[in-house]
A = this chain, B = another copy of it.
Amino acid sequence: MRSAFQNQLDTVNAELVQMTTLVGSAMNRATQALLDADLALAEAVIDGDAQIDTLASDIEERCTDVIAQEQPVAADLRVVIGALRIAASLERMGDLAEHVAKQARLRYPRPAVPQELRGTFAVMGGVAEAIVSKTGSVIATGHVDLAPDIAAHDADMDRMHRELFTIVLSPSWSHGVEAAIDVTLLSRYYERYADHAVSATRRVVTIVTGDPYVGVSLA
């Protein structure tokens, strides 16, 4: 028979997985809004962030209640503390998706990204989707064998982020300062999104393997 603690932990875990779904969907739709200059979609993402924030807040409340009621110690306590940090990372990923959507809205009806960089941002959106869906799997199952994949996606994102810097700084850049800044900030939002997915995964790795948090490598 499962304990009350275990049942409550299952609920927290399901809510964290639900957050990965929500922030994954938010970033997918934000990318779509960015590439299509779709104002209605951008505003839906912006409006939808409140739901993500509320869920993060609910998870924190539930974790606090679980600690107060069940008084877990040792590994059990670390799971709950880890859940608090994962919820914070996922909440921030929702904010970053919202930032992408706001950039799309700011430049509407013009596209915020020059035609020749649409492909790169489409790939960054795809990598964001892959990394958050694998992070969701790691949280759902505790199977940390996806961690190297997640690290590889993060490395891809970092590489694209650096490439975009090179492109906007090249002498052949013809879109001016505003577009260069838009591309740089957007690129940073995707890169930070991936970083937070890595942080969330590291937390699960720490919980599953018992390794201390500092110095844990996904590679």
Contacts and interface: CB of A to CB of B under 8 A. Distances in A.
How many copies of this chain does one complex carry?
Answer: 2
Nearest to A50: B214
A182 to B, nearest CB: 10
Contact of A188 (B67, B71, B72, B185): B185
B81 A64 contact: yes
Interface size class of A (residues with CB under 8 A): 20 to 34
A88 B54 CA distance: 20
A73 interface: yes
A73 B68 contact: yes
A118 interface: no
A78 interface: yes
B181 A169 contact: yes
Nearest to A175: B177
Contact of A77 (B67, B168, B169, B188): B67
Nearest to A58: B214
B213 A57 contact: yes
A57 B184 contact: no
Interface string A134-156: 00000000000000000000000
A180 interface: yes
A201 B141 CA distance: 36
24 contacts: A53-B214, A57-B212, A57-B213, A64-B81, A67-B67, A67-B77, A67-B81, A68-B72, A68-B73, A68-B74, A68-B77, A81-B84, A84-B84, A84-B85, A88-B88, A165-B181, A169-B178, A169-B181, A173-B177, A176-B177, A177-B180, A180-B181, A184-B185, A185-B188
Interface of A: 53-54, 57, 60, 63-64, 67-68, 71-74, 77-78, 81, 84-85, 88, 165, 168-169, 173, 176-178, 180-181, 184-185, 188, 212-214
Given A63-B81, A173-B177, 16 more contacts: A53-B214, A64-B77, A64-B78, A67-B67, A67-B81, A68-B72, A68-B73, A68-B77, A84-B84, A168-B177, A169-B177, A169-B178, A180-B180, A180-B181, A184-B185, A188-B188
